[in-house]
Amino acid sequence: MNASVRLAFCILVLMACLAFVATALQPFRELEEKEAALSEVMAKEEAVIELKDAKQRELSAIVNDPKYLEIIARDRLNYYKPGEQIFRIVPIQDIQR
């Protein structure tokens, strides 16, 4: 083989490799995007499940524990027993508004 044929063959092989890499990169990028979206959705799902569990525990306490129900009702209605001192902790965000 002469040098020009070898050079043409090398360029052909190089172009084939570049074409393969270029076509393989698009699905790889799409896969990475889908995996990122999946992890975001799974994190949101985890937060929702934790909130649901907390609400279920609170509902169970309200239904089964009369003392807890009294505490919640007195807090929301701002009632207190004679001689009792109430301390309210206000979040900083509410103070700055």
Q: Which tens digits make up the pLDDT trace of 22-74?
A: 787 788 888 999 999 999 999 999 999 999 999 999 999 989 999 998 888 88
8: left (phi over 0), alpha (psi -120 to 50) or beta: alpha
In a domain, 89, yes or no: no
In a domain, 91, yes or no: no
What's the domain range around 51? 3-80
- Report field, pTM of the whole predicted structure over 0.85: no
Q: For residue 96, name the pLDDT band (cuts at 50, 70, 90).
A: low
- What sign for the dihedral angle of Cα 90, 93, 94, 96? positive
In a domain, 48, yes or no: yes
In a domain, 90, yes or no: no
